[in-house]
Amino acid sequence: MDIDLILRVYPFFLEAALVTLELALLTTILGLTCGSLGAAARMSRSRILRLIGATYVSIFRGTPALIQVFILYFGGPQVGIQLDSFAAGTIALGVNIGAYMTETIRGAIQSVDKGQTEAARTLGMSRWETMRKVVLPQAMRMMIRPLGVNINALIKGTALVAPISVIELTYTAQRFIGSTYKPFEMFLLAGLIYMAIIYVTGQGIAWLDRKARIT
């Protein structure tokens, strides 16, 4: 193993890791937004909204994320959507993970005991007041862990934008392989950095989960 080479190239990898982090963060934000809207739609009183929510989830969970990235980036211009690779990648991955988060959020909300809603409604609270003051505060605590699983998947999923030339970790590894012919070292280095990111994120989520636990 060529340690010297690793020591020479790792600053470039760290720079690329920042792009990966940025992708992950934006994707998480977009995913949580889509997930919240998706969950609201799926649990709505309106049949049409429920249908829209269900369709969203089945499309984005039912096709490879890579295809979704390709459709937006390569297919977009054909229908007048012109995005640079970073924007296309972020949007495609965010909307994709949002479909998974929809189900996570909905699951957490529905796992709150029905008696909670009944007690609140019996006091005279409206559907929305009940959701906001009774159900959501309990559901939020329960969704931290499963959302953590989604975020873990999303971090690894950021590698899917390498083929559209976003200069993130995986792409950078491939670039250096082209010039060094050392795939083992390059992928190992990228992998270690992914692992570090995922480890730290996982710790953060575990910490949040502990803090949010009901006493």
Chain residues binding another protein by CB under 8 A are 113, 115-116, 118-127, 129, 133-134, 137-138, 141, 214-215
**Contact in structure between 84 and 69 (CB atoms under 8 Å):** no
Q: How far is the CB of 103 from another protein (least distance, A)?
A: 23
Q: How far is the CB of 127 from another protein (least distance, A)?
A: 7
Exposed e or buried b for every residue in 7-22, given b needs 16+ CB within 10 A?
eebeeebeebbebbbe
Nearer to another protein, 132 or 156 (CB): 132
Residues 152/108/136/26 CA torsion (nearest 10 deg): 20
Indicate the burial class of 37 (C-beta count within 10 angstroms; 0-12, 13-18, 19 or more).
Answer: middle
Element (H, E) at 44: none
Q: How far is the CB of 177 from another protein (least distance, A)?
A: 51
Nearer to another protein, 44 or 165 (CB): 44
Nearer to another protein, 124 or 178 (CB): 124
Q: How far is the CB of 210 from another protein (least distance, A)?
A: 16
